A = this chain, B = another copy of it.
């Protein structure tokens, strides 16, 4: 490719509206342009990178027996009704009507369509296992698209689905995917952590995320360096020091706490209690077909609720904090004076059924202090299991850096920001049961197909590579996914000798199978070097004045090391360098 005819609209300055590094550099390197919020056009340089990533994904998916499909982005409402997700996907799903008034949506993921095909075409365990995949455009109406390609409304995803006759088959397919994903991300030059994750709207029993540690990420992950335990914050647990409670009274005692509204207030109130001896009481509303239903989430006073954990504890139902008026209607008190003791009775008297979910750290605790469901009053001497009608014990608490690893003895947890680039799910029979996809076992029994679902975000891989590999001058592409292997920079294109040497190198390198960009623009050498650094081609061959002595310069973008080489030996030298840099 000749830069003089190639469209790489680089920018000199950082774009004003870009915050994260990958966003800035994708814009500055002339790779993407925004068409609307969260909707980007990919220019040729970006698409070259994406095609290399997709080729790697395809190779590794084929290697584990994956078969490539292409399913429609337009989906009829009916199949999403069958799985129950037409409603569950809420505002995140783009919906439209066709000219005949039929409801359609744009696929956010393709469990439904693949399950429908499996239902119609698979009959017997003999046809299993199957791994079906596609590399295809997904649509999600993100409430807050941002960070360039990190949170968008349209993106390319490799999604695959495994179909097995039993759980053992699913375990194998899941492991095959885990290994394939590791190879894919390794080959794309990403450093990543595999973490336990919440399955969220996908459902199923188990899931892992592939996380790249970067400040640009919007996820938080928890890692134990000692034993390798790693989990998404929404799933992570930790060991915390047990607290020995002194015995309390036989029943809770109410006492006045004028003006006390927060945990913090009560720690300093005379006769109050330290935060870890208080019960934090939060009111949430959970989605239900007949309207939102209230619940109390109870935690230790110094602990924070993770809403995803609460939602997961409820089987994946969406939850939201109750509004102040909903709280008062329910319990007759304001948010600062709530408590679990007698809460169900109070709610029932007001015509509402109330569910109580308590964090595991409250189990066995006694002599605690909490709100009295009466403004300006609290209760002390509360024995959680004796005095509160807990419906469900669950892990609801946000893990903090420095807490103990839940898996090993001496490990300490750390919390990092991270970017999700892949996610694998053991779906089990959630979709095959709701949509009726069954096969006959060897014994002739009809069973629902056991499914897995696995995704990789192609743009995220590209953006993560930039987040991990860049410097002040621009991108430093991993060689495997660089848009070009090498750039030949002719410092003065008007000099015949330089131009001819550049053309000769260009032809030779192409003949040797390299992806080459020839910078044949009529620009100053400084501009060309800056642009080459910015777009991040791994090697630059510079044809300058030394060509008079038959020499050119080889410059490695990553190390910034330059060396001189005979023109006639440049190709061989480049091959050597590339071979050395292979991991």
Chain A residues in contact with chain B, CB under 8 A?
Answer: 5-7, 9, 33, 35-36, 39-44, 47-48, 50-51, 65, 67-76, 79, 91, 94-96, 98-99, 102, 104, 106, 113, 116-117, 120-121, 127, 130, 132, 137, 139, 141, 143, 153-154
Of the A-B pairs whose beta carbons lie under 8 Å apart in the complex, a sample of 8, sorted by A's number, is A5-B65, A6-B67, A36-B104, A39-B76, A40-B72, A74-B154, A94-B104, A98-B153
Give Cα A98 to B40, complex, Å: 16
9 A-B pairs with least C-beta separation: A96-B96, A36-B76, A44-B67, A42-B70, A91-B99, A9-B121, A39-B72, A41-B71, A99-B141
Residues of chain B with a CB closer than 8 A to A50's CB: 70
Contact A96 B94 (CB under 8 A): yes
Give Cα A104 to B153, complex, Å: 12
Q: Is the interface of A mostly helix, strand, loop or mixed?
A: mixed
Minimum C-beta distance from A131 to chain B (A): 9
* Chain B residue at minimal CB-CB distance from A134: B47
Give Cα A127 to B127, complex, Å: 55
Residues of chain B with a CB closer than 8 A to A68's CB: 44, 47-48, 51
Residues of chain B with a CB closer than 8 A to A9's CB: 121
Minimum C-beta distance from A43 to chain B (A): 6
Give Cα A250 to B139, complex, Å: 71
Contact B132 A41 (CB under 8 A): no
Supplied contacts A35-B116, A36-B104, A43-B117, 14 more A-B pairs, CB within 8 Å: A6-B67, A7-B121, A7-B127, A9-B121, A36-B76, A41-B69, A41-B113, A41-B117, A48-B68, A73-B139, A74-B153, A91-B99, A95-B96, A96-B96
Give Cα A33 to B33, complex, Å: 36
Indicate which residue in B6, B47, B70, B75 contacts A69 across the interface (CB closer than 8 Å). Answer: B47
Contact B153 A35 (CB under 8 A): no
Residues of chain B with a CB closer than 8 A to A70's CB: 41-42, 47, 50
* Chain B residue at minimal CB-CB distance from A91: B99
Give Cα A61 to B334, complex, Å: 68
Contacts A96-B95, A113-B35, A139-B74 given; indicate if A42 touches B69 (C-beta within 8 A).
yes
Minimum C-beta distance from A92 to chain B (A): 8
* Chain B residue at minimal CB-CB distance from A93: B99
Minimum C-beta distance from A57 to chain B (A): 14
Minimum C-beta distance from A134 to chain B (A): 8
* Chain B residue at minimal CB-CB distance from A75: B35
Residues of chain B with a CB closer than 8 A to A69's CB: 41-44, 47
Minimum C-beta distance from A318 to chain B (A): 15
Contact B91 A41 (CB under 8 A): no
Give Cα A120 to B11, complex, Å: 12
Contact B36 A74 (CB under 8 A): yes
Indicate which residue in B76, B94, B99, B141 contacts A143 across the interface (CB closer than 8 Å). Answer: B99
Minimum C-beta distance from A169 to chain B (A): 13
Contact B139 A7 (CB under 8 A): no
Contact B95 A35 (CB under 8 A): no
* Chain B residue at minimal CB-CB distance from A136: B137
Residues of chain B with a CB closer than 8 A to A47's CB: 68-70
Indicate which residue in B5, B36, B132, B137 contacts A7 across the interface (CB closer than 8 Å). Answer: B132
Contact B41 A130 (CB under 8 A): no
Minimum C-beta distance from A280 to chain B (A): 32
Contact B35 A76 (CB under 8 A): yes
Give Cα A540 to B104, complex, Å: 43
* Chain B residue at minimal CB-CB distance from A92: B99
Residues of chain B with a CB closer than 8 A to A94's CB: 74, 96, 98, 104
Give Cα A404 to B121, complex, Å: 54
Minimum C-beta distance from A89 to chain B (A): 12
Minimum C-beta distance from A223 to chain B (A): 34
Contact B99 A67 (CB under 8 A): no
Minimum C-beta distance from A510 to chain B (A): 12
Residues of chain B with a CB closer than 8 A to A137's CB: 73, 137
Give Cα A40 to B69, complex, Å: 11
Minimum C-beta distance from A336 to chain B (A): 33
Minimum C-beta distance from A276 to chain B (A): 41
Give Cα A39 to B7, complex, Å: 35
Minimum C-beta distance from A192 to chain B (A): 25
Give Cα A12 to B98, complex, Å: 34
Residues of chain B with a CB closer than 8 A to A67's CB: 6-7, 44
Residues of chain B with a CB closer than 8 A to A79's CB: 35
Give Cα A290 to B203, complex, Å: 53
* Chain B residue at minimal CB-CB distance from A34: B72
Residues of chain B with a CB closer than 8 A to A7's CB: 67, 121, 127, 130, 132
Residues of chain B with a CB closer than 8 A to A141's CB: 98-99
